[in-house]
Amino acid sequence: MSAWSTTRHVIYGFLLGTAGVSILSSQDMKKAYTHVTAAVKRGGNSVMETFTTLKENCEDINADANDINAKRSREARAREIRDAREVIRQAEEQEKEVQEKQA
C-alpha cells in the first residue's frame, strides 16, 4: 500500500467515526436508547416476578416434603412402640408359662 492509500483510509475512518458519534448522540438515538432501556427493565421485572413465584413454589414443596417426612417418622415410631409392646407381652406370657410349669 502506498502512503496516500493509508492516509486516505485514516481520513475515511475519522470521517466515519465522526458521523457515527453524531448519529449516536442525536435525539432520535436517545429516544431509541430510552425505549430499549425501558424494555430491558420490563424484562427484568418479569424475570423477578417469575423468580419470586418459583421461590414460593419451592418453599411450599419443601414444607410439604417436611410434613410428609414428619408423618412417616411418627408412624414408624408408633410401629416400633407397638412392636416393642408385643415383644414385651410375648415375653411376659412366656415367663408366666414358665412360672406355671415350675409351680
Structure confidence by residue, pLDDT tens digits, 4-50? 677 777 776 766 666 666 666 777 778 888 888 888 888 888 889 99
Q: Are 84 and 91 within 8 A, CB to CB?
A: no
Number of domains in the chain: 1
The SS3 assignment for 52 reads helix
Question: Grid coordinates 412417616 are at which residue?
Answer: 72
In the structure, what pLDDT confidence band is assigned to residue 69 with cuts at 50, 70 and 90?
very high
Tell how far CA 103 is from the center of its chain. Answer: 72
Q: Domain residues for 8? A: 3-102
Q: How far is CA 10 from CA 15, 19, 35, in A?
A: 9, 14, 34
